Structure 1
Amino acid sequence: MQVHTCKFHHCLVPDKNGQYQCKWRAPFNLSEEDSIDDQGHWKSKWLFSYLNGWVPAITLNACCNNDGKLLTNGADTKNVMFYVTIYQTKKQGKHFNMSALLAKGYAYHSHHTAYLNSLQDNQRLLLFRLIHTINWEQELAAPMVISYLMGWGDTYHSHHYSPVYWSSFISALLKDFPALSHTQGSKEEGKDSGGNSNAAR
């Protein structure tokens, strides 16, 4: 389960009146039990306002964070499909603020820790802490992680391809069919003779 914490520059955004509100609409509305009315408005059992609507059976058996929602129309289904796809593949928008994370992580360590006077140690600690800041905040897609763990590289493909150069192909073809070279030579001689005769005329 994942407890939501509202933070500036993360989920708190200003509205038209200048008031900051959570873009995920936290705190969430509470409900003592699952219910739905004749207008189609539904509520799931929600006892803590900053915890997503988790499904106990999924949490117990899959041991993972989840968020249950009742799909009542095509628009909701479409939105969930887009959300799951973006969450699974970790679109590049997640990395747009990497430079800000680096600056934030470095500023934190500079303020809370004492550095050595050695320039070499300063640079080493700088790189070390920046990398740890990236690892802490970076989100990686599961297919990419599995590909690296299995040693499949940056791309996944079902076949292995080899480059075929046209000159090598022609050489192999003429080697097996020598008559083709004579035919090609005759055509070139005909072109040359035609060109010479036209020039003579």
Structure 2
Amino acid sequence: MNVLHNQSNINPACLPTPNPSSPNFAARFRADVVQLVETDNKHKHSDTCYKYCDPKQGDKKICRLLMPRKLVPVSTIDPDTGHISMRRSDPWINNFNEYIISACRSNMDIKFIWSGSDAKALVYYITDYVTKMSLSFHDTFALVQKSITSFQNSLQQTSKESAIEKSRKLVLRCYNTLASQQELSGVQVASYLMNWDDHYTTHKFQGLFLIQTERFLQAELNEIRTKQ
């Protein structure tokens, strides 16, 4: 009873996705989706909703996400225009896909892309979003400069390495410095702290340690060259 009570106080987004092999999975899955939607997928007005409104110019305070939305009792398709009106029973719930929201454990607002122009706009938006840097240019340059300075100080102690090895270590140190400063989402941090899986595969794979493999191949290559 205490376990069930504690779970009821936890945000559904922090709970794992129901196991498909568990008994009565369909009911568990539906209850999980309902909890996620009611807790995390309801729209709440914020300053972001009105960031394009300028009261000084007489603009009306209208939510740019068009919330609340009109209720639709039954899903219909207009035969003349082809417009699809999906059933909506709550004016504040964002559009969602039950399988995606259960797997991602986060809010969403899914939309079907009809035209080529919408598809192009979506590709541009996703590309711009996933490639944006979490660090500004001046912060990046400062971190790289710090790595170079630290690397130069370490070279004074070990100066017998080849230029290729020094270059490899410099690039690796710069990468590690930048990677250590990358922002992590709350969901990602919580997943690691709770020891949840961060990926799912159909097969079990053996880990491959690239640095050790590279060193082994380099040693073998050097040995072959000395024998020639």
Q: Same fold (TM over 0.5)?
A: no
Q: Which has the larger radius of gyration?
A: 1
Q: Report 1 or 2 for greater relative contact order, CA contacts < 8 Å, sequence distance ≥ 6.
A: 2
TM-score bucket (shorter structure): 0.3 to 0.5
What TM-score results when the alignment is normalised by the length of structure 2? Answer: 0.35
